[in-house]
Each structure stands twice: as C-alpha cells, then as structure tokens.
Amino acid sequence: MANHKSALKRIRSNETKRLRNRYQHKTTRNAIKKLRETTDKKEAEKLYPTISGMLDKLAKRNIIHANKAANLKSQLAKHVNAL
C-alpha cells in the first residue's frame, strides 16, 4: 500500500477517472449498438452525429485510439447511407 499522501490521492483520483472512462465507453458502445439495430433512415441520420461526437470525445481523451474512432465512424456512416 502507498505511504505518501500524494500517492494515496493519486490512487483515489485514478479510480474515479477509471469509472468515468468505463461509463463513457459503455454508453458509447450501447449507442453504437442502437444505431446498428436501427432500420429507420431518419432516426439513424439523427443518431449518427451524436454518436460521432461521442467517439471523437473518447478519442480525444485517449479512452479509445483515434484510428479506432475513425474506423467506427466510417462503418457507421456506411451503415446509415445503406439504409
């Protein structure tokens, strides 16, 4: 166990950040699933910009890799256009 005050604080803050990152990542994944299951083009076109923004935020905060975010956005755009 850590002995320094700053190390204890770092452990607490890391756990808080980990939980926040997990929540944001899971929320985005659920939104992606919802978009992929959508068969209505209007709804898909409405959902796509919000999900795209979510992916950009995750990439900006290094929760996911920037290339993964780009690949997911590309796949989702393809899906929306195919509807």
Q: State which residues form the domain around 40.
A: 28-83
pTM for the full model? 0.83
Is the separation of the CB atoms in 61 and 28 below 8 Å? no
User: Is 20 inside any structural domain?
Assistant: no
User: Is 51 inside any structural domain?
Assistant: yes
Tens-digit pLDDT profile for residues 34-69: 999 999 999 999 999 999 999 999 999 999 999 999
Q: CA torsion sign, 39 to 41 to 43 to 46?
A: positive
User: Is 17 inside any structural domain?
Assistant: no
Question: Position of tokens 């997990």?
Answer: 22
Is the separation of the CB atoms in 76 and 63 below 8 Å? no
User: Is 44 inside any structural domain?
Assistant: yes
Kindly report the average pLDDT of the chain as a whole number.
94
**Reported confidence tier of residue 3, pLDDT bands at 50, 70, 90:** confident
The number of distinct structural domains making up the chain is 1
Is the separation of the CB atoms in 51 and 25 below 8 Å? no
Q: Which two tokens stand for residue 31?
A: 């939104």
How far is 35 from 26, CA to CA, in rounded Å?
14
